Amino acid sequence: MENEAGSEINSLLAEMGDTQPEINYTNVSGLLTAKTTLDPHQVIQNVKKIVQDEPWSIRYIQRLIPVEAVVNTDINDIKDEVVKLASRIRKNETFRITVEKRYSNLASSDVIRNVANLIDRKVSLDTQDWIVLIQIIGEHTGVSVIRPDAIFSAVKTKRES
């Protein structure tokens, strides 16, 4: 259902004011990327509101994840980007690292170990203030430092409505 999901996200982004969003199909079944001129965090909040008001209006999109930076799948490039983005985590706040990888030989444990050493904050796997999210898809890696509620899950949002 990639075509339907692509059309759905394209329409949503157009309704929100992005006249030329770039929707790309990946080598991973069911996984699309979308490049937008809009703030990805605001897009997700808008989509959540749409689903709360009209749950039937989102039929094909299952999950939306804001990606703040895209780098080459190289541990040093990933580390450099995490250092930049993790500066927003305050001293008294907690974080966790989540790695989702496809088509890569990098071990998730190596990525986590390398990245965790860069962030001088307390780790909390259960209830964290921030998620350091690393999305590896072959040669490209998306990096985000986001609040736990920054990810849209259709199932979760519809259940909460």
pLDDT of 98-132, one tens digit each? 999 999 998 999 999 999 999 999 999 999 999 99
Report which of 69, 22, 70, 12 is spatially closest to residue 43, judged by C-alpha positions.
12
- Is pLDDT at 51 greater than 90 in this prediction? no
Please give the pLDDT value at position 56: 84
Q: Average of pLDDT values for 123-150?
A: 93
Residue bearing the bigger pLDDT, 22 or 161: 22
CB atoms closer than 10 angstroms to residue 148:
11
pLDDT at 155: 77
Domain 69-148 architecture:
2-Layer Sandwich (3.30)
Query: Which CA distances in Å does 81 have to 15, 34, 69?
Result: 31, 20, 7
Residue range(s) of every CATH 3.30.2130.30 domain in the chain: 69-148
Mean pLDDT across the chain: 91
Q: Is the confidence at residue 159, as pLDDT, over 80?
A: no
